[in-house]
Amino acid sequence: MPVFFIQSNRISDHTVTIDDPLLSHLSKSLRIREGEKIWVGDEHRVRYHVRVDYLDANSLQASIIEKVAGPPATPAPVVLAQAVLKGDRMNWVIQKATELGVTAIIPLLTSRVVARTPAGRTRTARERWQRIAIDAAQQSEQWEFPGVSPPMTLPELFRHVPHAVLRCALLEREIGQNSLGALSIDHAFQGTIVLAVGPEGGWAPEEMRELLDQRFQAVSLGKSILRSETAPLVALSILQHRLGNL
């Protein structure tokens, strides 16, 4: 059973109260009924095993059976800065990156991005991506879900992650200077890691210069040229393995 995320202010006197949108998912999609037990988790990395006592169209109330404190947050959070991909590819990358334990996802607007969300629909797109991340974190039993930021340009990204200890820009094999797997990181590494991944057409030359000027290391995944939705997931798997998380 997945672990469903709630806010800690929904917990009072050993009772958990759930309303929409999670209520609709539990009652309509999963058909949860009174007497059943589920797991919920809050923003403080605490999980609660609860029994559903009352359920109607407006709310669900459940009694806390067990409380479990989660492990400490990772000392090496990984932020994925992903150029927006067209179609369902962006949705897929967000889902799988969440399963791989990223702590934040930043959609990037680069010069070669094909999928441009109309100005009036940016909020809707972000809300959809955030919902995908939450659902993926619940299904994979993460202790927290990654926040999905509004789409950013590269200069905005640089201002958003000023204290990142390690910055990597994923490049094609012809221009990648180092293998991602050769980076000097292990399970003892501490500090935020930012992985920037370009769009289907790759980084423009001026964007590569900007990245290098901002202390991003150019890294590659070896000889193969991977699809735009495959490359970030391979890179994240390598990073999380090196950090001891996989």
Please give the pLDDT value at position 177.
Answer: 62
For residue 167, give every residue at least 6 positions away whose Cβ sits within 8 Å of its Cβ, in sequence order, or none: 161, 193, 194, 196, 214, 215, 216, 217
DSSP 45: S
CATH of domain 3-69: 2.40.240.20
Superfamily of domain 78-242: SPOUT methyltransferase, trefoil knot domain (3.40.1280.10)
Residue 113 and residue 228 in contact, taking contact as beta carbons nearer than 8 Å: no
Q: What is the mean pLDDT of each run of 10 residues along the chain (246 residues)?
A: 92 94 93 96 96 95 96 96 94 98 97 76 90 96 96 96 95 69 90 96 93 94 86 96 93
pLDDT for 226 equals: 87
User: What is the b/e burial string over 174-191, where b = at least 16 CB atoms within 10 angstroms of the residue's CB?
Assistant: eebeeebeebebeeebee
Q: What is the pLDDT of residue 176?
A: 47
Task: Please list the residues that pair with 21 across neighbouring strands.
Answer: none
Q: Do domains 3-69 and 78-242 have the same CATH topology?
A: no
Could you state, in order of their start, the residue ranges of all structural domains in the chain?
3-69, 78-242
- Whether pTM exceeds 0.85: yes
Sign of CA dihedral 203, 209, 214, 216: positive
Check: CB of residue 108 under 8 Å from CB of residue 82. yes
